[in-house]
């Protein structure tokens, strides 16, 4: 009897501890809004990316893990190799360069406080893009810095995730790079989860999988196979589901998906989701009621447990739209194929899901795609191909279809005057630094479900590139993310694809 009472008390203590750890979990949506956009309505309660990243670094007490594509928090207006070159101090201040410097300083201070810091980045774009993490780690045993080339493992691809994890409790997932321009000159969207150790622990598993890859000899763990799903020959890790089960190796990763009889991307009928009470102080619809959430990952070989793939999460969010309701998609790049592979791969997964809900649910699908200085030329053709769904919807008397696809390009003023201010000793007449003035967010939201990620909507980002997403049925997050989309969609910066002509673009400044 006494043992039973003790066991019961221990169980209650564990339950109380669990309730305490989950009841304080909070979430805020996070944005970066470029300067000089006076006609964009701001959504109340949404935090600034720069403030959140600086806060996370400044308040870390034990551990800080960061996944970044590249680093450029400190501007380089005096470096001829930089897209910042030639701009004056006054111009740089107006651009908001101090926000990046503040984040870097907060990281530097955290390192001085002896916080254990792990920095994981892509390498191979520009040499200067790894200088900052190298400097933070120099002479500090508490700071570890590694670079990872996914091309060695998949034949192409990069570390593209943008993730911060502080003290095993706080997490940022979103589209913002570790770049001062991502804080003030690029439009970004993410989510900040505070006091959420359960979620942080799950994201850490993915971080550890990437960290393990960086320490391994890829040549001992990769194979070139015929990918039957995409009908191409390509390099993959030897534990990949694109390899026949009998030929797979044992994965060296701490955790990974174990599905023995699948050749290809495991599509899970019941992917892992978790209920959590997440308060949303920035929203009027905050609730303490537990609601369903999930995480998704790319590429498939880095996923684990029964988490859904990032591609499946995008598709399922699109299909979560209700009958005659609206699903909203925001992305920088859209391409119905691969972009960086040697052999082109046709990719219709998202397009098919969109057409399906237009036909079966009479849904409206609104898509916002960035138009900027580094726009992918084939995008226009693929979007018009998607618009043809409207013709098919109304093409036959048998089609009782009233859904539709609406597409707009998002045009940030000044996008066509970006680059260094001086080149070859001469003025370029550019008015903003390079790789700025673009809508860079990646998310999809229906009336039921929100999905916030790091991946562009191109095949490569789901199959050979590192990406992380957070998704939720939390009514407050869903509602506020719709507000962010609607503010962009209804602004003068969103231009219907049918109206976007070269003459118009050249005059939009």
Measured between alpha carbons, how far is 411 from 36 in angstroms, rounded to an integer? 13
Q: Is the bond into 299 cis (omega within 30 degrees of 0)?
A: yes
- Residue 129 has φ and ψ, to the nearest 5°, of -75, -5
- Closest alpha carbon to 329 in 362, 296, 361, 363: 363
Condensed to tens digits (0 to 9), the pLDDT of residues 180-196 reads 999 999 999 999 999 99
3-state DSSP helix/strand/coil percent for the chain, to nearest 5? 35, 25, 45
As a three-state string, the secondary structure of 453-492 is: CCCCECHHHHHCCEEEEEEECCHHHHHHHHHHHHHHHCCC
Whole-number Å distance between alpha carbons of 371 and 360: 30
Flag residues of the chain having pLDDT under 70. 1-23, 124, 256-263, 500-509
State residue 498's pLDDT score.
79
Which DSSP helix (H) or strand (E) runs through 386? Answer: helix 379-393
User: Is 0.85 topped by the overall pTM?
Assistant: yes
> In this structure, what token pair is assigned to residue 470?
């957070």
Specify the pLDDT at position 261: 65
Rounded to 10 deg, the angle between the 379-393 and 349-360 helix axes is 20
What does the alpha-carbon distance between residue 111 and residue 102 come to, in Å, rounded to a whole number?
14
- Report, at the CATH architecture level, how domain 24-507 is classified: 2-Layer Sandwich (3.30)
Q: How far apart are CA 182 and CA 437, in angstroms?
A: 10
Query: What does the alpha-carbon distance between residue 308 and residue 496 come to, in Å, rounded to a whole number?
Result: 33
Q: Report how far residue 468's alpha carbon sits from residue 295's, in angstroms, rounded to the nearest whole number.
A: 7
- Cα Rg of the chain, angstroms: 23
* pLDDT value of residue 62: 98
Give the per-residue pLDDT at 123.
81
- 293: β partners: 274, 472
Q: What is the pLDDT of residues 61-86, one digit of tens each?
A: 999 999 999 999 999 999 999 999 99
* pLDDT for 318: 98
């Amino acid at each position: 009897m006494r043992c039973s009472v003790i066991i019961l008390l221990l169980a209650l203590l564990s339950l109380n501890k669990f309730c305490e750890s989950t009841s304080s979990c909070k979430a805020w949506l996070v944005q970066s809004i470029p300067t000089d956009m006076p006609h964009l309505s701001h959504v109340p309660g949404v935090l600034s990316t720069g403030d959140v990243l600086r806060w996370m670094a400044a308040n870390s007490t034990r551990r800080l893990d960061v996944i970044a594509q590249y680093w450029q928090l400190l501007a380089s207006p005096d470096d001829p190799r930089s897209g910042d070159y030639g701009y004056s101090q006054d111009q740089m201040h107006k651009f908001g360069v101090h926000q990046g410097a503040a984040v870097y300083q907060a990281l530097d201070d955290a390192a001085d406080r002896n916080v254990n810091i792990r920095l994981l980045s892509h390498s191979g774009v520009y040499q200067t893009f790894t200088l900052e993490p190298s400097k933070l780690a120099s002479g500090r045993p508490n700071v570890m810095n590694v670079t990872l080339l996914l091309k060695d493992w998949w034949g192409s691809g990069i570390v593209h995730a943008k993730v911060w994890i502080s003290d095993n409790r706080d997490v940022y997932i979103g589209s913002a790079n570790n770049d001062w321009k991502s804080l003030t000159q690029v439009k970004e969207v993410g989510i900040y989860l505070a006091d959420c150790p359960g979620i942080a622990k799950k994201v850490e598993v993915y971080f550890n999988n990437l960290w393990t890859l960086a320490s391994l000899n890829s040549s001992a763990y990769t194979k070139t196979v015929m990918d039957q799903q995409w009908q191409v020959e390509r390099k993959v890790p030897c534990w990949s589901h694109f390899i026949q089960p009998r030929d797979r190796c044992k994965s060296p990763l701490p955790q990974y998906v174990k599905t023995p009889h699948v050749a290809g991307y495991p599509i899970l009928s019941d992917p892992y989701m978790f209920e959590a009470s997440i308060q949303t102080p920035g929203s009027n619809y905050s609730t303490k009621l537990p609601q369903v959430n999930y995480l998704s990952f790319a590429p498939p070989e880095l996923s684990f447990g029964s988490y859904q793939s990032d591609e499946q999460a995008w598709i399922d969010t699109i299909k979560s739209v209700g009958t005659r309701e609206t699903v909203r998609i925001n992305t920088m790049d859209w391409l119905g194929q691969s972009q960086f592979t040697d052999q082109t791969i046709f990719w219709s997964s998202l397009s098919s899901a969109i057409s399906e809900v237009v036909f079966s649910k009479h849904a409206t699908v609104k898509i916002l795609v960035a138009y900027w200085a580094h726009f992918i030329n084939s995008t226009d053709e693929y979007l018009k191909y998607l618009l043809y769904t409207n013709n098919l919807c109304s093409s036959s008397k048998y089609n009782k279809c009233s859904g539709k696809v609406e597409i707009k390009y998002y045009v940030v003023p000044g996008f066509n005057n970006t680059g260094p201010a001086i080149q070859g000793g001469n003025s370029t007449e550019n008015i903003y630094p390079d790789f700025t003035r673009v809508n860079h967010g990646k998310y999809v939201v229906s009336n039921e479900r929100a999905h916030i990620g790091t991946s562009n909507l191109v095949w490569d980002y789901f199959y050979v590139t590192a990406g992380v997403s957070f998704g939720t049925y939390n009514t407050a997050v869903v509602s506020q993310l719709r507000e962010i989309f609607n503010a962009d969609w209804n602004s003068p910066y969103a231009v219907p694809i049918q109206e976007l002509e070269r003459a118009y673009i050249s005059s939009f400044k």
